[in-house]
Amino acid sequence: MKHRIVVLGAGYAGAVTAGRLAKRLHRDDVEITLVNADPDFVERVRLHQLASGQDLPRRPLREVFAGTGVRVRAARVTAVDVDRKTVELVDEQGAGTLAHDPLAHDPLVHDSLAYDTLVYALGSTVADNGVPGVAEHAYDVAGKQSALRLRARLAEVAPGGTVLVVGGGLTAIEAAAEIAEAHPELRVAIAARGGVGDWLSDKARRHLRGAFDRLGITVHERADITRVGADGVVVGAAGEIPAQVTVWTAGFTAHPLAAATTLEVSDTGRIVVDDTMRSVSHPDVYAVGDAAFAQGAGDKPLRMGCATANPMAWLAADALAARLTGRKVPRTTIGYAAQCVSLGRRDAIVQRVTSDDRPTSTVLTGRTAARVKEFICASTAWGLHHPTMLVPSRRRHLASGRGSEAVTASAS
């Protein structure tokens, strides 16, 4: 019987893990199923572009993984039972007989999927941080549908209207800059509880301020937002920042499904993993991307973000493949190299950082940095469209005395 590997989530971490496993393991031995609510791969790092009005190319997952042996299942995960080793799904794409039965009362298809090894990569969603009114009145760019919702709203705002982006991190900065560049008829402001981009080096911060000035972005720092309304936000006890549109980018939180299981999770709901991305409580579960709580360089927890998604995916796939084929398990420490911040389509900051994510004095800015940032984003998407190029072209049989490796002709 084939070893059943189920990968939940096809963001950067989940998709790369599935593709890498498909190249590491022989398809006669394993069955890899990739489950994702959206039938397309969503470039999350470009959702601020989508929200501002730009069109992004479609990347159907079934085309991405065609010929790899990875089975793509378009369905929403509703529950995970790590003790029974099953995943509950709702198929919202109309697959199965129930969806096509005109007499059926339920238009959705409910299913249970069993696994031998689970890779949990369901990622993160917006954290409202307990602020009232976020869910009712704010927009976000955490997913494709929410980005499209914001896109539609921006198209409705009359010239001179104000768009307020809440947050001071990478997502907030990129969203504010992209909206300001794409919609010069609107006033754009950014508000943060602390400083905006205050983790950057002095040179990078100076460039950021210059870019904001060029784009006409108003900056509100040390703004403790206590409520979001239909016409703006409340700051502190009595202050207000009026806005026709509020975009909430003040942090992310892990998908809640993991915390509802018996998996050991952090206080933020992320699955606690060892240095091979394997759950410390359930050895048949791996977690990658924003869903995983892992230690990086300097014994610091890896932050949520695309910078760590691919390295975590590589490490998890290689460790799992090694265990299944009886080889030495690779062990490495994930560290950082740079932080890239786009400031519209023609400007950016590439901040060199230490392996434990502290800024250095080395910074690229302007068009050169924008080209570097675009190359990184495009390379990631290209790699997902060419999963045969993700790893060296060797597949190994499981550790069952079946003999030598199976070698394919594709390159690494």
pLDDT at 102: 43
8 A C-beta contact, residue 82 and residue 282: yes
The predicted model scores a pTM of: 0.89
Q: Rounded to the nearest 10 degrees, how much is the dihedral formed by the CA atoms of 312, 201, 199, 365?
A: -60
8 A C-beta contact, residue 65 and residue 103: no
Average pLDDT of each block of 10 consecutive residues along the chain (412 residues)?
A: 96 95 94 97 95 94 94 96 97 48 56 96 94 97 96 98 97 98 98 95 97 98 96 90 97 93 96 98 98 95 90 96 96 92 97 96 97 87 53 55 29 26
What Å distances lie between residue 98 and 91, 94, 102, CA to CA? Answer: 10, 8, 8
CA neighbor of 309 nearest in space, from 77, 16, 5, 31: 16
- The tokens describing 373, both together, are 């940032």
8 A C-beta contact, residue 146 and residue 36: no
pLDDT at 220: 97
pLDDT at 90: 94
8 A C-beta contact, residue 120 and residue 9: yes
